Structure 1
Amino acid sequence: MANPNDFMTRDIVVDELQARQRSLRLAVVTETFPPEINGVAMTISRFVDGLRARRHDVQLIRPRQTKTDAADQEEVLMRGLPIPRYPHLKMGLPAKNALVHLWSMRRPDVVHIVTEGPLGWSALQAAIKLKLPVTSDFRTNFHAYSGHYGIGWLKKPIFAYLRKFHNRTHCTMVPTESLRRELQQVGFQNLRVVSRGVDTRLFSPTKRDVQLRRSWGATDVTPVALYVGRLASEKNLRTLVAAYEAMRVVRPEIKLVLVGDGPARQELETQIPGVVFAGLQRGEDLARHYASGDIFLFPSITETFGNVTPEAMASGLTVLAYDYAAASQLIRQGESGYLVPYNNTDAFVTSAATIARDWPNAKAIGMAARIVAESLDWERLVSDLEAVFHQAAQTSPAPREILVPHAGNASA
């Protein structure tokens, strides 16, 4: 029979198991969300789903998109107005008092503000009043857009507002290191890089659709240049048209397919007859359009990231873009895509013609781009975001007890 004292003299090995991080109560305030189609809406949807999968309680606060729009149990719908020139998009109205009331009843650990419009500003003011930690995203170059809509004189005031807005938060998340450096040089503080991923199961070369290509007038071997995004002046579409015309000189059979819609569509239809306007596409249909192209032309100079770049790469397309934002971060020149100096129209057009001239090599580069995209794991990026929120939550002594029972949906 074993002597009980023997156990006291034996070595005891203790495994130090890391404690699981506690779940957080997060309030996410955004003025864009699916079914709206844009990079910010898609990214936020991904992050919200990822955080909920990690058992965080995410309260989504957004404008009501349509009269029939109904909140689920984890949403709060606020009043909104259509954005000029984009009536399908809504801008949230000021709602500080409503948010103070909402968060007084059910205090979040962190308030995360995605957009800097009236609803975002109200959320910032409400969180400060209640002494709640706040984080923010810098996702849209509103100050850069101003020059494309006849209000260039507002660029400095807009930029000053954005700087004031973000510097009042615990930290501001940006998608690339280059953007972090750019903003830091002009006075933005507490910047943190949290990149973006891509769904490589949805966006894949396997979604290539021969029948879709035929509807564009393309055979199996016809080169197809693709653009995905808003048809609007801030996307630098004049350079897109010039690049396409240069490619046609080299390969007259080339097709151009534009996926998206916007205020510039009518002008483009008269300017470049024969171009395929595919309109807005979502989900599997969007994936088929990507994979059925060959080269992705992306001349925009107003991106903070540009989700379309990794989506095109995941689809096996050869990307031509300016050397900044997502393209600069993901593409190695001549290996997984083509980069030209920022806002150098001549270089962009010349490179497009070179790609058309060396078509077999361009196709091989598209396959290399797919391999790069496969490394962009959403799970890792959600983990990075989660770490930021945990750090922010520890900066405030605010109690997290529920003051009244949760009442379910709320609407304003």
Structure 2
Amino acid sequence: MEMTDLRVALFSGNYAMTVDGANKALNRLVEYLLRQGAAVRVYSPTIAEPPFTPQGDLVSLPSFAIPGRNEYRVPMGINTSIRRDLEGFAPNVLHIASPDFSAREAAKWARDRSIPVVASVHTRFETYPQYYRMGFLEPVIEAWLRKLYRRCDALLTPSPSMIDTLRSQDMNDDIGLWSRGVEHAIFNSERRDLAWRRKLGIADDEVAIGFLGRLVLEKGLDIFGDTILELKKRSIAHKVLIVGDGPARKSFAERVPDACFAGFQTGTDLGRAVACMDVLLNPSVTETFGNVTLEAMACGVPVVAADATGAASLVDNGVTGYLVAPRDVSAYADKLQGYAADPTLRKAHGAAGEKKAEAFEWDTINQAVADTYLRVLAHKGKSTGN
């Protein structure tokens, strides 16, 4: 079977509602598959004014908005119309990108027809409850995820550390790597713009500690804020540069009242904002990869990150940045203090990170997904005698 024989039905809980790493990766995958001659049809909740133009044919799933987080919508299943559309498209591979109700029903639909199911794991949903004081739900959610993923033909996830986590959780026996790329034309050290920093109130000789991403609790905003407070207690001169927006902005601003908020940025403006940081602080433990970590590295910015899935496979500790025990505020502050005092160290770690990021190219990375489709199709054909 060739790439041109692929007919992929992709189910996503959020394909074009917000701009995040998972959405970017899925849209790049679809664009690549279409460019190679494959047929792709995407099924996802939609909104009236998406923040970007989605790739491929998009079929809207019935959904409802999450209370208090209406930028996200929850798919409610696959109704008769969606089933009819699936039958008409006649996929030979089903790809589910979120473990929601629609994906679960679609996976059952595919299994009933001996169509292989591939699942990509983009975030650690089981860790979310701890940020909303419901940590007791973590094992329940993990079991719920396992019930779905064990029935898939293969799993894909963005980092070796996340593969290890999924194996330890007994999610599946067939787990492959679907890494992430970076747009080097946008994210590179040449984007650094001192004039732009000055407009934000950051002097040329001041050390800007950056945060990059959606402002939501599960990104570790509490640890970021506590670390900045610890630097203040130590009288370490610094500035804070926040790039991104989200529902937790107001409460986060109260934690870091002196921060420069650059807001939501895209394209070359985003590359400029990241390159204007002197160090990225990423305390999140919910990512499976850490796109923001890679983007900072591509810009020549050293990274201090949680030693957790995502960053652990990207940051070479003591070479391109530092990995810190996830909630150790004092250790985060120690590493940032070291960078603040030593511009030569910052430059060396930043250059090493930029060099490492050169290897992350999208087309090569997305071919790994296509190869997984072809492999599970071949295996399914042998097991059914086709």
Scaled by the length of structure 1, the TM-score of the pair is 0.86
Q: Where in structure 2 are the equivalents of 1:75-94 lying within 5 Å?
A: 75-94=58-77
Q: CA deviation at 1:361?
A: 1.4
Q: Select the residue among 301, 306, 310 that pairs with 1:317.
A: 301
Aligned partner letter, 1:95: I
Q: Select the residue among 7, 28, 35 that pairs with 1:46.
A: 28
Q: CA deviation at 1:251?
A: 6.8
Q: CA deviation at 1:256?
A: 0.4
Match of 1:367 in 2: 351
User: CA deviation digits over 1:114-156, x for unaligned, max 9?
Assistant: 0111221221122123331110011111111012123333222
Query: Percent of pairs identical after alignment?
Result: 28
User: Which 10-residue stretch deviates more, 36-45 or 152-161?
Assistant: 152-161
Q: Select the residue among 133, 143, 147 that pairs with 2:130.
A: 147
Match of 2:95 in 1: 112
Match of 2:250 in 1: 266
Match of 2:196 in 1: 212
Q: CA deviation at 1:316?
A: 1.1
Match of 1:193 in 2: 177
Q: CA deviation at 1:376?
A: 0.8
Larger Rg over CA atoms: 1
Q: CA deviation at 1:236?
A: 2.0
Match of 2:110 in 1: 127
Q: Select the residue among 5, 11, 33 that pairs with 1:29.
A: 11
Residue 41 of structure 2 aligns to a residue in which SS? Answer: strand
Aligned partner letter, 1:53: R
After superposition, the Cα gap between the structure-2 partners of 1:66 and 1:20, relative to the gap in structure 1 and judged at 3 Å, is closer
Residue 241 of structure 1 aligns to a residue in which SS? Answer: helix
Contact 1:205 1:315 in 2 (8 A): yes
Q: Select the residue among 354, 374, 378 that pairs with 1:390.
A: 374
User: Which 10-residue stretch deviates more, 330-339 or 134-143?
Assistant: 330-339
Q: CA deviation at 1:35?
A: 5.4
Residue 87 of structure 1 aligns to a residue in which SS? Answer: strand
Aligned partner letter, 2:279: I
Match of 1:138 in 2: 121
Q: Where in structure 2 are the equivalents of 1:331-346 lying within 5 Å?
A: 331-346=315-330
Distance 1:181 1:96 in 2: 36
Aligned partner letter, 1:326: G
Aligned partner letter, 2:109: A
Q: Structure 1: any 5+ residue segments left out of the alignment?
A: 1-18, 399-412
User: CA deviation digits over 1:364-409, x for unaligned, max 9?
Assistant: 21122111101111111111111001012223459xxxxxxxxxxx
User: CA deviation digits over 1:297-333, x for unaligned, max 9?
Assistant: 0011222111111011011111111223332212222
Q: Select the residue among 376, 381, 394 that pairs with 2:365.
A: 381
User: Which 10-residue stretch deviates more, 217-226 or 66-75?
Assistant: 66-75
Aligned partner letter, 2:130: G
After superposition, the Cα gap between the structure-2 partners of 1:23 and 1:208, relative to the gap in structure 1 and judged at 3 Å, is farther
Q: Structure 2: any 5+ residue segments left out of the alignment?
A: none
Residue 116 of structure 1 aligns to a residue in which SS? Answer: coil
Q: CA deviation at 1:286?
A: 1.4
Aligned partner letter, 2:242: L
Distance 1:373 1:291 in 2: 14
After superposition, the Cα gap between the structure-2 partners of 1:67 and 1:228, relative to the gap in structure 1 and judged at 3 Å, is closer
Residue 393 of structure 1 aligns to a residue in which SS? Answer: helix
User: Which 10-residue stretch deviates more, 72-81 or 310-319?
Assistant: 72-81
Q: CA deviation at 1:351?
A: 1.4
Match of 1:227 in 2: 211
User: Which 10-residue stretch deviates more, 147-156 or 110-119?
Assistant: 147-156
Contact 1:138 1:173 in 2 (8 A): yes
Higher relative contact order (CA 8 A, sep 6+): 1
Contact 2:27 2:54 in 1 (8 A): no
Aligned partner letter, 2:97: V
Quick check: 1:326 aligned with 2:310?
yes
Distance 1:45 1:67 in 2: 17
Aligned partner letter, 1:66: A
Quick check: 1:61 aligned with 2:25?
no
After superposition, the Cα gap between the structure-2 partners of 1:251 and 1:151, relative to the gap in structure 1 and judged at 3 Å, is closer
Residue 288 of structure 1 aligns to a residue in which SS? Answer: helix
Distance 2:136 2:226 in 1: 28
RMSD across aligned C-alpha pairs, in angstroms?
2.4
Aligned partner letter, 1:29: F
User: CA deviation digits over 1:91-127, x for unaligned, max 9?
Assistant: 2221153333222222111010001112212211221
Residue 280 of structure 2 aligns to a residue in which SS? Answer: strand
Distance 2:19 2:286 in 1: 17
Contact 1:313 1:370 in 2 (8 A): yes
Q: Select the residue among 151, 157, 161 that pairs with 1:178.
A: 161
